[in-house]
Amino acid sequence: MSLNEKLPPCPVETTLMLMGDKWKVLIVRDLLTGTKRFGELKKSLNGISQKVLTSHLRIMEKNGLITRKVYPQVPPKVEYTLTEVGQSLKQVHDAMLDWGSVYKLKYSTRTSMV
């Protein structure tokens, strides 16, 4: 997804373009607690493949949400950090956190919703 294309008129759609993906939300969730290394993210993002993680991180970097810092070492060390814009996703994240919590409380006593 390149930002060369015009951003959609509806701001919600803009957000969806940039964050409308399960993995991206979870990456932000993890980075909100601080800078993380690639391996830490991979472990925390239960089940993500390195290909997918790498590609998402690249896009988010391109979109100005995160920064990538490479330490010229052997073995390599790469750290990912939220930018200021990325940090501001905390509002969205917290809203999702709150809503999910309430939903769980409301429905955790049911065994089935079918």
Residues from 34 through 93 that contact its own copies (CB under 8 A) = 62-64, 85, 88-89, 91-93
| Shortest Cβ 72–its own copies spacing (Å) | 24
Nearer to DNA, 19 or 57 (CB): 57
Tokens of 94: 């917290």
The three-point CA angle 100-18-41 to 5° equals: 65
Nearer to DNA, 56 or 89 (CB): 56
CA of 71: how far to CAs of 25, 60, 67, 74, 106, in Å?
A: 26, 20, 13, 9, 47
Nearer to its own copies, 55 or 77 (CB): 55
Q: What would the x/- binding string for DNA be over residues 58 to 87, using CB under 7 A?
A: x---------x-x---xxxxx---------
Residues from 12 through 41 that contact DNA (CB under 7 A) = 21-23, 37-39
